[in-house]
Structures are given as C-alpha cells and as structure tokens.
C-alpha cells in the first residue's frame, strides 16, 4: 500500500558536510548542511541565499567541504542551530537559531590550514576537500515569491585530503568503502551507514576509468596530472 503525502522536507539520506568559509574579518565560519551531491570533482550545494556561508562563498569564491564520520554527532549538534550571520534571518529565527561568531570554539573542532584556499580545514574530519566556486543557479524560479531564496552552488574540488586509514591498500587514489563511515542525515536525524547488503555490479569497474570524466587535475600531484585521458578516453568512459 502507498499513501499520498506532502513532506515538509525531503532529506532522504545524504552525507553531512561541514562547510568552512572565511568571514569578511578573516575569521572562519562552519556550516553543517546535508544538501550536497557530487559528480566527478564537482559538488552542488543547496544553500539559503541569505546564509553567512553563502555570503562568504560568493564573496571569496572559496570553501572547504569537510566530511564528518558517524561518531562526530556531538560536534555537529553543538552548532546545528547556530548561524554566523549577526542578523538572524526571520526563517532561522522561527526555527530557533542563534548567532554564533566562533563556531570552532563552540563545537570543539580544530582548524587546520588549507593548502590552496584561505578557509581552514577541520582536523577531526576524515575527509577534507578544498574547493572553489564554479557557478550558481537560483532555485524555484517558477515561484516569484520564493525566487532567489535558495541557491544551487557549484564548486570544483581542487584538493582532497583523507586520513590514511581510509585508503584502499594497493591503490594510490581509492577510498576503502568498508572503512569509510560517513555521517548521514535522514529527515533531520543522524545515522551511519549499515553494513554492505550485496555485492555491487558497478564495483567491478576500475575507478580509474572514470578519471577522464573528472577532468579536474588542479592541485593534484604532477604524477596524477599525467593520468588525465584524451578525448578518445573520455568517449570510451562515457559509453
């Protein structure tokens, strides 16, 4: 049996991302979000246009996407209902948000210098992706009263840092999915991944065959840049 419903939110289960950006006074802001998805070395972020993270990202064109593990719930909860904006937007006021200038101190997280961008990485996060702004799109353009309220922001990942214990033995650039335990948000609740249920047919494909589709070697070691394929390789991978 199925029933027709209209959920107020549709967070079906996506990784939590702690986005770090730089405020206009040089301090750092942290924003926990779960509206994020990746394709190649690009990531699309769903953010409110008035959020401090959006303001910072559009101004500096830089951020770091920090991925927490499933045991980092206390850090996330400490800043989950805070905003870096000194003027709290009405929507966030209604949701019970409060202003927090120093989210690193509030959360207990540790800033760590990035290599290629100004915002810091979060030391406790097993995965940290330095990124640059690539483009923005206004959502809900068919609704005049809401147009521009939410943005889909595309960023390109220019350097990825991972904890060594997450790496797949015998491979230079692969993550071991059995060791990677991301924090997942599903309808506002925090979860971890369940054990693998079945063998994936897609997992039989060598991950390096997807590299020509990535076409994003900025910030990679010189040896890795040589691996980016030709147009023929791109066509083969696309098939």
Q: What is the mean pLDDT of residues 53-61?
A: 98
* CA angle, residues 224, 156, 22, in degrees to nearest 5: 120
Residue 49 reports pLDDT greater than 70: yes
Q: Could you tell me if 44 and 64 lie in one domain?
A: yes
Domain with residue 68: its CATH number is 2.30.110.10
Asked which of 197, 213, 231 is the last residue of a domain, the reply is 197
Residue 198 reports pLDDT greater than 80: yes
User: What does DSSP say about strands 127-138 and 150-162: parallel, antiparallel, or unpaired?
Assistant: antiparallel
- Gyration radius from the chain CA atoms: 19
Q: How many CB atoms lie within 10 A of CB 115?
A: 11
Render 134-161 in DSSP notation, one character per residue: EEEEES-TT-TTTTTSEEEEEEEEEEEE
Q: How many CB atoms lie within 10 A of CB 14?
A: 16
Structural domain boundaries, residue 184: 14-197
Q: What is the residue-averaged pLDDT of the chain?
A: 90
Q: What is the mean pLDDT of residues 33-62?
A: 96
Q: Could you tell me if 133 and 27 lie in one domain?
A: yes
Q: Which pLDDT score, from 0 to 100, does residue 213 have? A: 78
**Confidence class for position 231, pLDDT limits 50, 70, 90:** very low
Q: Could you tell me if 153 and 140 lie in one domain?
A: yes
| Residue 171 located in a structural domain | yes
Question: How is residue 219 written in tokens?
Answer: 């910030």
**Confidence class for position 91, pLDDT limits 50, 70, 90:** confident
Q: Could you tell me if 148 and 184 lie in one domain?
A: yes
Residue 238 reports pLDDT greater than 50: no
Q: Which pLDDT score, from 0 to 100, does residue 158 have? A: 96
Residues 4-29: pLDDT tens digits? 999 999 999 999 999 999 999 999 99
The total domain count for the chain is 2
Model-wide pTM > 0.85: yes
Q: Are 43 and 131 in contact (CB under 8 A)?
A: yes
CA distances from 169 to 118, 146, 159, 201, 202 (A): 32, 49, 21, 21, 19
Q: Could you tell me if 191 and 91 lie in one domain?
A: yes
| pLDDT: which is higher, 91 or 35 | 35
Q: What percent of the chain has pLDDT over 70?
A: 90
Contacts 24+ apart (CB under 8 A), 215-223: 215/40, 215/41, 216/40, 216/41, 216/42, 216/156, 216/157, 216/158, 218/156, 218/158, 218/159, 219/115, 219/116, 219/130, 219/158, 219/159, 220/159
**Confidence class for position 223, pLDDT limits 50, 70, 90:** very low
Q: Could you tell me if 135 and 160 lie in one domain?
A: yes
Q: What is the mean pLDDT of residues 27-45?
A: 96
Element (H, E) at 5: none
Q: Could you tell me if 76 and 181 lie in one domain?
A: yes
Q: Could you tell me if 162 and 208 lie in one domain?
A: no
């Amino acid at each position: 049996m199925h029933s027709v419903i209209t959920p107020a939110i549709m967070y079906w289960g996506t990784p939590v991302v702690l986005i770090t950006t730089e405020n206009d006074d040089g301090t750092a802001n942290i924003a926990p979000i779960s509206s994020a998805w990746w394709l190649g070395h690009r990531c699309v972020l769903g953010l409110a246009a008035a959020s401090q993270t959006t303001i910072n990202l559009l101004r500096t064109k830089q951020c770091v996407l920090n991925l927490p593990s499933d045991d980092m719930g206390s850090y996330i909860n400490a800043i989950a209902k805070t905003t870096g904006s000194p003027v709290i937007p009405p929507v966030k006021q209604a949701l019970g948000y409060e202003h927090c200038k120093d989210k690193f101190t509030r959360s207990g997280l540790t800033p760590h210098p990035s290599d290629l961008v100004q915002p810091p990485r979060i030391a406790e996060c097993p995965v940290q992706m330095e990124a640059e702004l690539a483009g923005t799109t206004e959502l809900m353009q068919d609704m005049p009263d809401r147009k521009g309220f939410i943005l889909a922001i595309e960023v390109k990942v220019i350097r990825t840092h991972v904890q060594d214990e997450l790496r797949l033995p015998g491979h230079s650039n692969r993550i071991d999915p059995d060791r990677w335990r991301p924090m997942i948000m599903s309808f506002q609740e925090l979860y971890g991944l369940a054990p693998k249920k079945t063998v994936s047919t897609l997992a039989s494909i060598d991950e390096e065959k997807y590299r020509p589709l990535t076409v994003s070697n900025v910030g990679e070691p010189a040896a890795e840049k040589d691996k980016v394929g030709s147009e023929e390789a791109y066509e083969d991978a696309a098939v």
